Chains A and B, each alone.
Chain A
Amino acid sequence: MEEINIGDYSLLGKSIPRIDAYEKVTGEAKYAADIELPGMLWCKILRSPLPHAKILNIDISRAKRLTGVKAVCTAKDFKGFRWGWMPITRDEPPLAEDKVRFYGEGVAAVAAIDEETAEEALELIKVDYEELPGVFDPEEALKEGAPVVHDYRPNNISWEFHMDFGDVEKGFKEADLVREDRFATGRVITGFLEPPAAIALWNSSGITIWAAKQSPYFVYRHLAQCFNLPLNKIRVIQPFVGGGFGGTKNDSVAGDFCSVLFSKMTGRPVKFVYKMEEVFLTCRRRHNAIIYNKMGMKKDGTITAMQSRLIADGGAYTAIGPLTMYLTGCISTLPYKLPNFKHDAYRVFTNNPVGAAMRGHGVTHTRFAAEIQMDMMAEELGLDPMEIRLKNAIEAPYETINKVTIFSCGLKDGLLKLKEHPLWKERKKENKDKETISGVGISGVAYLGGARQRGYQSCAAVLRLCEDGTVEYLTGATDAGQGSDTVLTQIVAEELGLSIDHVDIQRVDTAYTPCDAGSYGSRVTALAGEAAMKAAKDLKRQLAEYAAKEWNVSSEDIVFKNNKVYPKHMPDKAIPFRKLAQIACYSGVGAVIIGRGYSQYGIEPYDFEKGIGNAGTAYSFTSQLTRVEVDKETGFTKCTDMIIAHDCGKPLNPGLVESQNQGASVQGLGQAIYEEFVMDRGRTLNANLADYKMPTAVDAPNIEVIHILTDDPKVPYGAKEASEGAIVSSPPSVISAIHDATGIWFKELPVTPEKIALALREKKKE
């Protein structure tokens, strides 16, 4: 088993196998779509065939009469309920009300005895539309006279966010070189394999829903609001989740609201499972963005100022967009020293599917632009791309101009490791044959972990001691695949000196588990981990008092280790943990021992209007080398190697940290060279896995992860984020590698073979 010494621990720092691995390799693990209840109905949603249209009339009478159909609903049945991330941006109804705003938006839904009947019924619903002119490009949508998507935002600006620190004009004056470029990031989707699904039941105890969510407490609140029920009548039960990556599974989908409503209407359980086509046509995707970036640099490579203007395609509704805009700017001041910075971000409504969060949220866009522009300028100034990064890299402790505080930073350390790596040292020596040319690129980025959205962040752990010395662990945190259940259990077991199989973690059930913000912003290990640690210490403290009495020593001197308990310096007196549990549970009338803890990290406020302060608890630093081979004729690019030097502080489970980096960098590779929705007037033309190309096993490069160890006081055991840095570092390092191979800078993602072949042909002509 892989092991990294991160301190005097028995479980932390070890690649303990995932605690859910057995269920996953045997097929035992139940996901939402695997659950059935007797008498269950199927819910299907009718979707708009137009991107922007008034709904004149919906005739459901024929559908209702079809044998096997039990209920039909439209927007009217939701009585004006709308949801959204902020009270002032609640603009999204479960089903379209007076008009549809994107192709594929839900307009009506059916509940029937089986899937086939439900599908048949959809065809019997007649909707009269009056088509409206649509707007599909965010820059077009900003123009005077563009079609208006929402009346409450007549200029189509869904949200804007501005930062202004130092004096950029002064900074540009001080520079020897100033560059302005236009960059663009692509239209991509999270790409989880498990489509959204849920099974809902409404009865006298309220709503119970088994739903595929990475943040179940979002849908918990949405359902309470929608159906006007108190939270203690909402029970969200978490099955296994087949991937999340932000966006859709951090939010509610039309199917959630419709299936609950249908269960209320019919008294029967109602299930829905989206088809992959529905996922691609209608689910949240990453905002695609245009970034106008301006950077000033001295001859020696010192960055003097940066100014970015970002225009993001928000699609038809706001969703979590305001946070996206915040994130495009708030850590642009990392990981390089930046004395002057101005940022203007506009999220623009269009008649496209909704743009929302995705792994690497917000940061991917602006960091891509800044990294590539920095490389371009280094080239113009005759500087080495490695040296320019080393020159500008921050070092801890550090405070950025917008008061982001860094207590640990492994960027330089990582870059220096990469500098010595054979892939970098020998990159120029390669024999380039006639057909393919190779190149190596580099990037260095930062990402926030333990992220906080605005307001409520509570996150807790409850541990119940069983009389045989085993422990039940309740957490509101969700493992959507990242492995948090394993890491959190490692933490509890470590603190209690137990082996890992003595601690049993429960998946979320809002009836029993404590409230939690969710799995996003790389927050679980930092925040739920802190809660777990505190709950374990609390449980230990209570048990230690019984032990202290037994041995007549101070409770502080009780050691918990290897499933045993003993007074410090007297290991020969050790008794099994089980025995102590029995002493506690059976003495007197019998104690009931419950350990409790909640997260208190990062409680200082940050300024969401101006972009000041820490939106994260701690920050990870990732530097990456990528090697590609480009076919000169076809432009076909094969990524052969990625070396990722990742500072997650202390890897509590190195294998899981590596897996996060590997997964994120390949997802980033998809964004860099493969993935893109092909759109025609709001309609997604490649709404399937064959035409929307995600990386396969054949496309995956060899990936080496180098753990850069740092010590951060802000997070439990010094463990920082490990899942999002590499999706930020991957695209710029891939594009910089393609430049190294071809001599061409590409500024718009994805860089497809066609783009490369065309550019190479142009270059030849010159």
Chain B
Amino acid sequence: MEKKEIRFKINGEDTVISIKPNKTLLEMIREDLKLTGTKEACDHGECGACTVLINGVPVNSCLVLAMEAHGKEILTIEGLKQDDRLDPIQEAFIQNTGMQCGFCTPGMIMSTKALLNRNPKPNDDEIKEAIAGNLCRCTGYTKIFESIKDASSKIGGK
């Protein structure tokens, strides 16, 4: 299959890449860009481990073609840290033990990022709804909820 050139911004950096049109965004991120923080678990849009933001909107990158990234801004877990300063969401997940094995964590944090960007003070139901597509088998979610609430309060919510 012939490769096509696409341009986009990922984690703030302008990027040009030639890619097979049938590659998924997840494959491009992990295999071509070597950003392995984004995880693959189900590869079918059922678990949220591969969540990244396209223009601020959370997507399951295993369901999106890489070509879709053309002209857009992609944010992955690697792009949250600013000059060695963690995002308040990352801080909150650390302080509230918002993970065990950590395999769902990048996706969970990216979904949280999208949520708090559009709604800095979500209520409990809004939090649950926002991460309903992110499976976690380890934590039972309680400490993830606590992490998100803590992040929300730090970001300037109540």
Contacts and interface: CB of A to CB of B under 8 A. Distances in A.
Interface of A: 15, 17-18, 20-31, 33-34, 190-195, 240-245, 273, 275-276, 480-483, 655-656, 658-659, 661-667, 688-690, 694, 696-698, 700, 702-703
Contact of A193 (B38, B49, B97, B144): B49
B81 interface: yes
Given A27-B37, A193-B41, A242-B102, A700 B90 contact: no
B68 interface: no
A191 B90 CA distance: 25
B25 interface: no
A25 B142 contact: no
Given A26-B81, A243-B103, A697-B131, A689 B97 contact: no
Nearest to A25: B90
Nearest to A29: B102
Nearest to A700: B141
B39 interface: yes
A242 B101 contact: yes
Given A194-B41, A275-B43, A483-B97, 15 more contacts: A18-B97, A21-B97, A24-B93, A25-B77, A25-B98, A26-B77, A26-B80, A29-B102, A191-B137, A661-B140, A663-B138, A667-B140, A688-B46, A689-B135, A690-B46
Contact of A30 (B36, B44, B132, B137): B36
Interface string B83-104: 0001000100111111111111
Contact of A243 (B90, B100, B106, B131): B100
Contacts of A18: 94, 97, 99
A663 B35 contact: no
A243 B138 contact: yes
A696 B93 contact: no
Interface in B99-158: 99-106, 109, 127-129, 131-145
B76 interface: yes
Contacts of B96: 655
A696 B106 contact: no
A278 to B, nearest CB: 11
A40 to B, nearest CB: 12
Given A27-B76, A688-B46, A690-B44, A658 B105 contact: no
A665 B140 contact: yes
Interface in B32-72: 35-44, 46-47, 49
Which residue, B77, B134, B137, has most C-beta atoms of chain A within 10 A?
B137
B43 to A, nearest CB: 7
Which 4 interchain pairs have the tightest Cβ spacing?
A: A27-B37, A481-B101, A242-B103, A24-B102
B101 A241 contact: yes
A663 B106 CA distance: 18
Nearest to B36: A34
Contacts of B35: 27
Contacts of A241: 101
Nearest to B79: A27
B47 A31 contact: no
Given A276-B42, A655-B97, A663-B137, A28 B37 contact: yes
A27 B106 contact: yes
A697 B39 contact: no
Nearest to A691: B46
A177 B157 CA distance: 59
B106 to A, nearest CB: 5
A21 B106 CA distance: 11
B77 to A, nearest CB: 4
A31 B103 contact: yes
A379 to B, nearest CB: 30
A192 B137 contact: yes
Contact of A482 (B90, B100, B134, B135): B100
23 contacts: A18-B97, A25-B77, A25-B98, A25-B109, A26-B81, A27-B76, A193-B101, A193-B103, A480-B101, A481-B103, A658-B143, A659-B142, A662-B140, A662-B141, A662-B142, A663-B139, A663-B140, A666-B140, A666-B141, A689-B47, A697-B128, A700-B142, A702-B142
